Amino acid sequence: MPSLHHLLEQNERWASEMVARDPECFFRLSHQQAPQYLWIGCADSRVPANQITGLAPGEVFVHRNVANLVIHTDLNMLSVLQYAVDALGIRDIIVCGHYGCGGVRAALEGKPLGLIDNWLRHIQDLARQSRAELSALPSPDARIARLCELNVIEQVLHVAETTVVTSAWARHQPITVHGWIYDVGDGRIRDLGVELSSLDDLERHRRPPV
């Protein structure tokens, strides 16, 4: 018996139930995908994009990494983004972080974890930029929670600054970048109110020049 047998069994059951509900669903999905949303989220196992938004297979294009980072030179992320915008014509891009993010916590605590420290360095840079705001908070947990939010806002800006999105806006292709945060403690998503839909929006949200 193969290991992970239980997962294959669960898959068999799930596929049968899907067909029982909608006999054509896999036929349709095998011919095309037409998702309306691109989700950029954390790799954390507690934050599955489809389940927490109630979306079915085919409805959301997903990119996840540790701490939902959008790094300017990350070819993996850029390829997902370019395909989503140019080929799939996605209009809404959601950056969704989450409270209690282990990546954000590790970055703030600074305990060495190995290779991943290099990835988390980006969050440490952000923590340094936000030192005044973070140090005014009463507890380490409050600082981690706020840094989780600031990280989402920063990554929304990074999405908007990519050549993929700025070029799309320049040719008047409608795209909105949203910043959300999920609470693993109650299952609720909060909109952080940062929403960019144009080059003008980006300009308004850009940090002042240093």
Positions marked active-site: 42, 44, 46, 98, 101
User: Any contact of residue 44 with Co ion (CB under 5 A)?
Assistant: yes
| Nearer to Co ion (CB atom), residue 190 or residue 205 | 190
For residue 155, give the 3-state DSSP assignment.
helix
CB of residue 71 vs Co ion: minimum separation in angstroms? 15
| Closer by beta carbon to Co ion, 169 or else 180 | 180
101 interacts with Co ion by CB under 5 A: yes
β-partners of residue 98 are 182
42 binds Co ion (CB under 5 A): yes
Q: How many residues bind Co ion (CB under 5 A)?
A: 4
Strands (DSSP E) along the chain, which ranges?
Answer: 37-42, 60-65, 92-98, 176-182, 189-196
Q: Which is nearer to Co ion, 165 or 179 (CB)?
A: 179
**Residue 42 or 96: which CB sits closer to Co ion?**
42
Pairing of strands 92-98, 37-42: parallel
- The interface region with Co ion, picked from 35-43, 75-83, 107-115, 163-171 by CB under 5 A, is 35-43
Residue among 3, 176, 191 at smallest CA distance from 97: 191
Nearer to Co ion, 35 or 103 (CB): 103
CA gyration radius for the chain? 19
Sign of CA dihedral 67, 72, 76, 81: positive
Q: Environment class of residue 27 by beta-carbon count within 10 Å: exposed (0-12), middle (13-18) or buried (19+)?
A: exposed
Q: Specify the amino acid at residue 72.
A: H
- Of 95-103, 123-131, 149-157, 158-166, which part binds Co ion (CB under 5 A)? 95-103
Choices 18-26, 53-61, 84-92, 98-106 (CB under 5 A): range interacting with Co ion: 98-106
- Tell the smallest beta-carbon distance from residue 192 to Co ion (Å): 15
**135-144: Cβ within 8 A, 24+ apart:** 140/108, 143/108, 144/100, 144/101, 144/104, 144/105, 144/108
Stretch in the footprint of Co ion (CB under 5 A) among 37-45, 49-57, 132-140, 166-174: 37-45
Token pair recorded at residue 166: 């700025």
Q: Closest separation between CB of residue 183 and Co ion, Å?
A: 12
- Which residues are near Co ion by CB under 5 A? 42, 44, 101, 103
